Amino acid sequence: MKPHFELNEVTKKLPKHLYKFIVQQPYAAYTAQNQAVWRYVMRMNVDYLSKVAHTSYLKGLEKTGISIENIPYMAGMNRILKEIGWAAVSVDGFIPPNAFMEFQAYNVLVIASDMRTIDHIEYTPAPDIIHEAAGHAPIIANPEYAEYLRRFGEIGSKAISSKKDYEMYEAIRLLSILKEDPNASLKEISDAQNSVEMLQNNMGELSEMAQIRNLHWWTVEYGLIGTVDAPKIYGAGLLSSIGESAWCMQPEVEKLPYTVEAANVSFDITKPQPQLFVTPDFAHLSLVLEQFANKMAIRKGGLKGAQKLINSNNLGTIELSTGIQISGVFTNVISDENEQPIYVQTTGKTVLSTRDKELIGHGTEYHSEGFGSPVGKLKGINIPIENMSPRDLEAYKIYEGKQTSLEFEGGVKVVGDVITGTRDLRGKILLISFKNCTVTYKDTVLFDPSWGIYDMAVGKEIISAFSGPADANSFEDLGQVSEIKTHKIDYSSLQKELYGLYVDVRKMREDNSVNEEKVSAIFKKVSVGFSEDWLLPLELYELSQEYDFSCQTEILQHLKNLQSSSKKHQKLIESGLDLLPNT
């Protein structure tokens, strides 16, 4: 697959199946008001966060080259991010959690490149470029945190989802898109909100993915660092929200020590958080991550791991004790009276691998109808097949050209003519292939000779189970891109006229062509035709004060009137005025 985006030293390492999630940054679609919103939020952040954010934040802003004045170009960010071993790509809003984590595992920052509207200037339920670029990017300049983020992606991308997780992802994606669309109806938003709440209340037992997303939320997105009594901010959701960065420091928001138990604390993306977790330092984040990983199927394997994959109804991998890896959609596992798996089965395209590399001749074309294999030791024989020497194999009639009958401890029987075996580089036997083969368990036929060659994976136990394929290149169409797209906002002629005035102000500032006549003329148009707009008058007041224009008194009075008439704008205007030296 040819990339539709510019590759660099970092992104060229991405698996090709992730390309489909990457879109072109819609820079030309950003309005001048969007640029003004960016500037307002960034000025607020630098002023306030210098007091409450982790020291890495302001250093990181400088290191990653993120400007206060302009929404960043992705290409420009990448030129600087590569110096710290990272890259950024543009995506359309939320992408599936496994894909998001996989990007992170490759040191690639996923940036939802849409820009929040002025109505959501303090907080947006949708991921946007303020959240991603101004929230995430500065902190990854800290090497210890960057490694935590990469490792989190590496482990998180292997977390097994439930069937309901994808439904929840789609529901939250739709709700966030509608809430950020000024043209969405109240009914559309209400219906979407109800769908999210219904799913939240009926999720059942949390999957691995749901739990690790909770850890991600309470650290990467909404994490505090330091002590419970005097924490600092490092989570991107807080760093990018001028509303929540202030709210989170209030005593009403409970501060709890960060432990692995945070995996069981779910969140509501559409509301401010009632509690937050505080890590003493970045090293503690990695410690908790490893504690959680030790509970995951990727490290535990066993019957529960196989059952998690079946319940997910998604592509996953089981690894046996020999190192052979079976990747496909698992649909069946048979267990014995001791709750040990004795047979595993996939349906549809399947791949066999070892050490995360597809075995030659065992790709999706060969195993197009699925795969099944017994697991365990042979009945009455102490030596597992994987530990048998050539002499042992010959003694038990497991060698080429010999008809053999293998009965496993769990009751699965394999009867057929041995064709050949497949070994790894260390000589360990991974596969035994049979012709004229019948595989049964009690009265159930698991494989019939008419189906062709039977390939039996060798392994006494399942040591690992995880989401996705062992070899990322084995499946061409891996992962789903949501059919729900971010809405392109249709602006009215009146809005376009207002944005034209924002352009004029921006051009004056950038060209150093500020004069009182222009400022007064634009202010008159805004105050008469756009009396509800507060951000442009604030920018005009900033310029008039900087150049000591006589119209500054009139503009300030206009802003004071807006404050008194609109509770919604009161705090925003007050915060903007507080940034100015002589107000």
Instruction: Flag whether 164 is in a domain.
Output: yes
Residue bearing the bigger pLDDT, 320 or 96: 320
Confidence of residue 200 (pLDDT cuts 50, 70, 90): confident
Distance in angstroms (rounded) separating the CA atoms of residues 83 and 463: 38
pLDDT for the residue 432 = 95
Confidence of residue 58 (pLDDT cuts 50, 70, 90): confident
Distance in angstroms (rounded) separating the CA atoms of residues 210 and 222: 16
Q: In the chain, what are the helix, strand and coil shares in percent, each to the nearest 5?
A: 45, 20, 35
Domain count, the chain: 3
Instruction: Flag whether 477 is in a domain.
Output: no
Q: The domain that contains 126 carries what CATH number?
A: 1.10.800.10
Same domain, 277 and 423: no
pLDDT at 126 over 80: no
pLDDT at 197 over 60: yes
pLDDT at 1 over 60: no
269 with 172: CB under 8 angstroms?
yes
pLDDT for the residue 59 = 86
139 with 150: CB under 8 angstroms?
no
Average pLDDT over residues 21-48: 91
Instruction: Flag whether 146 is in a domain.
Output: yes
Query: What is the tens place of the pLDDT at every residue in 549-558?
Result: 999 999 999 9
- Determine what percent of the chain is predicted with pLDDT higher than 70: 98
Confidence of residue 47 (pLDDT cuts 50, 70, 90): confident
Confidence of residue 3 (pLDDT cuts 50, 70, 90): low
CB count within 10 Å of CB 181 equals 18
Query: What is the tens place of the pLDDT at every residue in 69-98?
Result: 999 888 888 888 888 899 989 998 888 888
Residue bearing the bigger pLDDT, 83 or 32: 32
pLDDT for the residue 86 = 92
Structure token digits, residue 97: 């959690």
Angle CA 106–108–110, to nearest 5: 135
351 with 360: CB under 8 angstroms?
no
Same domain, 21 and 137: yes
pLDDT for the residue 544 = 96
Distance in angstroms (rounded) separating the CA atoms of residues 8 and 10: 5
Average pLDDT over residues 482-502: 87
Q: How many helices (H) and strands (E) does the chain have?
A: 21, 17
pLDDT at 310 over 60: yes
Same domain, 546 and 448: no
The number of residues in the chain equals 583
pLDDT at 219 over 70: yes
101 with 73: CB under 8 angstroms?
no
Query: What is the tens place of the pLDDT at every residue in 513-557?
Result: 999 999 999 999 999 999 899 999 999 999 999 999 999 999 999
Instruction: Flag whether 481 is in a domain.
Output: no
- Among 261, 291, 321, residue at a domain's last position: 291
Instruction: Flag whether 483 is in a domain.
Output: no
Query: What is the tens place of the pLDDT at every residue in 254-299?
Result: 999 999 999 999 887 767 788 999 999 999 999 999 999 999 999 9
3 state SS of 567: helix
Instruction: Flag whether 297 is in a domain.
Output: no
pLDDT for the residue 270 = 66
Same domain, 231 and 364: no
Same domain, 72 and 150: yes
Same domain, 513 and 460: no
The residue among 432, 479, 471, 469 whose CA lies nearest residue 453 is 432
pLDDT for the residue 322 = 96
Residue 76 phi, psi (nearest 5): -65, -40
Instruction: Flag whether 479 is in a domain.
Output: no
Q: What residue numbers bound the domain in which 522 lies?
A: 493-578
pLDDT for the residue 281 = 96
Query: What is the tens place of the pLDDT at every residue in 415-425?
Result: 999 999 898 88
pLDDT for the residue 481 = 78
Q: Which residues pair with 279 in a beta bridge?
A: 225
Of the listed ranges 219-233, 259-273, 324-338, the least confidently predicted one is: 259-273
pLDDT for the residue 439 = 98
Rounded to whole angstroms, what are the CA distances from 160 to 164, 179, 210, 309?
Answer: 12, 29, 9, 7
Among the ranges 47-51, 205-209, 297-301, which has the highest mean pLDDT value?
297-301
Q: Rounded to a whole number, what is the largest CA-CA distance in the chain?
A: 103
DSSP state, residue 487: P
- One-letter identity of residue 417: D
CA 358 to the chain's CA centroid:
26
For the entire predicted model, the pTM comes to 0.88
248 with 223: CB under 8 angstroms?
no
Instruction: Flag whether 304 is in a domain.
Output: no
CB count within 10 Å of CB 359 equals 20
Query: What is the tens place of the pLDDT at every residue in 361-405?
Result: 999 999 999 999 999 999 999 899 999 988 888 888 888 888 999
Same domain, 35 and 166: yes
On average, the pLDDT of the chain sits at 91
CA 538 to the chain's CA centroid:
36
Segments in 453-566 forming alpha helices (H): 493-511, 516-529, 535-546, 552-565
pLDDT for the residue 31 = 94
Same domain, 338 and 269: no
3 state SS of 370: coil
Quickly tell me which residue has 């206060």 as its tokens.
68
Same domain, 388 and 242: no
Same domain, 173 and 65: yes
Confidence of residue 410 (pLDDT cuts 50, 70, 90): very high
pLDDT for the residue 496 = 93
Same domain, 427 and 518: no
Same domain, 29 and 170: yes
Rounded to whole angstroms, what are the CA distances from 57 to 23, 37, 89, 109?
Answer: 27, 20, 21, 16
pLDDT for the residue 2 = 62
pLDDT for the residue 4 = 66
Among the ranges 121-125, 161-165, 385-389, 445-449, which has the highest mean pLDDT value?
445-449
294 with 145: CB under 8 angstroms?
no
List of residues 6+ apart from 431 with CB closer than 8 A: 324, 352, 359, 362, 421, 422, 455, 456, 457, 458
Q: Which residues pair with 447 in a beta bridge?
A: 439
The residue among 344, 346, 318 whose CA lies nearest residue 330 is 346
pLDDT for the residue 266 = 87
Kindly list the strands in the beta sheet with 275-279, ordered across the sheet, starting from the edge strand earlier in the chain: 231-233, 224-226, 275-279, 254-257
